[in-house]
Amino acid sequence: MKRIYLDNAATTPLCDEAREAMRTYLSDVFGNADSRHSYGRDAAAALASARACIAECIGASADEVYFTSGGTESDNWAVKGAAFARGKGRIIASAVEHPAVYESCEQLRRFGFSAEYLPVGKDGAVSPSSLDGAMAEDVVLVSVMTANNELGTLQPVRLLAETAHAYGALFHTDAVQAVGAVPVDVNVLGADMLSLSAHKFGGPKGFGALYVRNGVRLEALHSGGEQERRKRGGTSDVAGAVGTAAALKAAVSHMTEESARVRALKDGFAARVLNGIDGARLNGTTDAERTLPGIVNFRFDGITGEELLFSLDLAGIAVSNGSACSAGSSEPSRTLLALGLTAEEAKGAVRFSFGRANTAEDAERAYTVLRDAVRRLRAL
């Protein structure tokens, strides 16, 4: 039985470009990038080259890119680091943020900050007018993700950033799902900070970056070293940086054709599900202008997402019923509740996320298996 992986929003396989680029730095070029001898200089040169490549891919300068362990750390650092640097005040985020942002906002309450969350429409998008209505001079930070990890909804980031800046607040965007899938340019978005994670676009797990616009003050969350311009101590992961740069460069180079191909797979699959399976409901939207190419989220009347996930897995189809970072939770998705779904409806959700390795045959088989699984579960 051929297994089909349709959980690319959770992670993606390491791409060939990243694997080849990393090989040398996992064997021969093993030096510590902070050492002054030739081994260290070779590693430092590779680190600098990777930083410059990643910066170029998102429209930033190399000195604005800080390496981290992934999206979760980048989000934590952006939210907490910016808040601590600016002092007390209000933080505003959307109701559908990744747990890394949401929990960071909640933790900041212990330090005297207040946090509030903007509502979203049934498509999962924040209205700029709702942010404008919530803004005041005491807001120190606004954080709204570029694209939602459960629904694929794209947010009007530039308009939201402009609104935040009009009141003197900083703007952060979690672009973990967007980078490598759609064009991301920090200058176009107008963000002061932007998070990305390598394993979402074919890079290695455990590596990410935080873009911080020059001039933005950010408190360090790590002590004990002078790496990352004294902002994040710890020996540099040279192989991770090199692999991330190679993967991102490849993703950006092939983005136009690959995004169109993946979107066609997803749209065709979604149309078949909605037209061919009774009681199939779309969570969010499939509007091409407002969604990522590969993510679509459904619920099915009378069936829990957990039941369907396991049924599909037994048939060799890997999907998800929410954010991988919250997969162990029995609570309904906070994102789906924000759409206005009941707890029962939210627990029925299943996310399908297509990627570069998927084919039309994968989509066809996934539909057939899904249709049969829904019928079988309803008959129990």
**Which residue is listed with tokens 């829990």?**
304
pLDDT of residue 380: 86
One domain, residues 32 and 146: yes
Give CA–CA dist 192/207, Å, rounded: 21
CATH number for the domain harbouring residue 48: 3.40.640.10
One domain, residues 29 and 56: yes
One domain, residues 230 and 317: no
CATH number for the domain harbouring residue 356: 3.90.1150.10
One domain, residues 286 and 141: no
Contact 246, 25 (CB under 8 A): no
One domain, residues 21 and 130: yes
**Which residue is listed with tokens 């993510």?**
295
pLDDT of residue 325: 52
pLDDT digits (tens, 9 = 90+) for 252-290: 999 999 999 999 999 999 999 999 999 999 999 989 999
Nearest alpha carbon to residue 302 among 320, 279, 330: 279
Percent of the chain with pLDDT over 70: 98
- 321 confidence band (pLDDT: 50, 70, 90): confident
pLDDT digits (tens, 9 = 90+) for 156-178: 999 999 999 999 999 999 999 99
pLDDT of residue 225: 83
Tell me the whole-structure pTM to 2 decimals: 0.96
How is residue 267 written in tokens?
Answer: 């749209």
User: How many independent structural domains does the chain possess?
Assistant: 2
Q: Which domain holds residue 306?
A: 4-12+255-379
pLDDT of residue 230: 87
Contact 358, 329 (CB under 8 A): no
Mean pLDDT of the chain: 96
Give CA–CA dist 271/112, Å, rounded: 48
pLDDT score of 323 more than 70: no
Choose the final residue of a domain: 253, 276, 302.
253
pLDDT digits (tens, 9 = 90+) for 14-67: 999 999 999 999 999 999 999 999 999 999 999 999 999 999 999 999 999 999
- 224 confidence band (pLDDT: 50, 70, 90): confident
| Residue-by-residue DSSP string for 292-340 | -SSEEEEEETT--HHHHHHHHHHTTEE-BSS-GGGTT--SPPHHHHHTT
Nearest alpha carbon to residue 347 among 301, 289, 290, 278: 301
Specify burial of residue 58 (Cβ count, 10 A radius: 0-12, 13-18, 19+): buried
Residue 325 annotated as catalytic: yes
pLDDT score of 313 more than 60: yes
pLDDT digits (tens, 9 = 90+) for 99-132: 999 999 999 999 999 999 999 999 999 999 999 9
What is the mean pLDDT of the segment spanning 232-258?
A: 97
pLDDT of residue 329: 57
E strands of 75-233, at which residues? 90-94, 114-118, 139-143, 170-174, 193-197, 208-212
